[in-house]
Chain A
Amino acid sequence: DVKVTQSSRYLVKRTGEKVFLECVQDMDHENMFWYRQDPGLGLRLIYFSYDVKMKEKGDIPEGYSVSREKKERFSLILESASTNQTSMYLCASSPGTMETQYFGPGTRLLVL
């Protein structure tokens, strides 16, 4: 079974803090993704990566950065957290460009 893990299930941070969200997959997948999910807005793609050290902006990259130093690990960084970044963050991985994405359990982030 594909396993995608995320470093935290719940996280509370203060405005202005730097926040790191980590995602690890154990299936040697090429592609990894970071989404945020908000009520009424659905899943929105923040960044994705199709290879180590490669990244591409998604639909809402502002205020975020990413790092992929190893194939199995994809990190999302909030450089200076703001209250409008309070959300559910979901990481996903897939073996190829057109193939199924497998999601991690999600991190519910609250920025105060």
Chain B
Amino acid sequence: QKEVEQNSGPLSVPEGAIASLNCTYSDRGSQSFFWYRQYSGKSPELIMFIYSNGDKEDGRFTAQLNKASQYVSLLIRDSQPSDSATYLCAVGPGNNRLAFGKGNQVVVIP
């Protein structure tokens, strides 16, 4: 069964620090990788997508993909209280659907 794992518990970071989130996936044939942010009571919204090995930066966010090790990570630099949310990792295995992880809660402490 194709799985996406986000194993870390809630992550508390001081304002201004770097938050680091990790995600591993089981399907070696996966081709597309996404990070979504979900505020409490709201629907997920896309932060970033990445298709190729390496880093992709967008503002304070950096996604890192390592297909050989089957992990994708998200770094949030200069964390702000507005970054407090649950972050969902999603992986595209190529059968018309994405597989989602259960999410990691991030709490930014002012």
Residues of A within 8 A of B (CB): 31, 33, 40-43, 45, 48, 50, 56, 58, 90, 97-106
Contacts and interface: CB of A to CB of B under 8 A. Distances in A.
Chain A: interface secondary structure?
loop
A98 B32 contact: yes
Contacts of A42: 88, 100-103
A56 B92 CA distance: 17
Interface residues of B, number: 21
A36 to B, nearest CB: 12
B49 A106 contact: no
Given A43-B88, A100-B49, A90 B32 contact: no
Contact of A40 (B49, B100, B102): B102
Contact of A98 (B92, B100, B101, B103): B92
B40 to A, nearest CB: 11
Interface string B83-110: 0000010101011111011110000000
Nearest to A108: B41
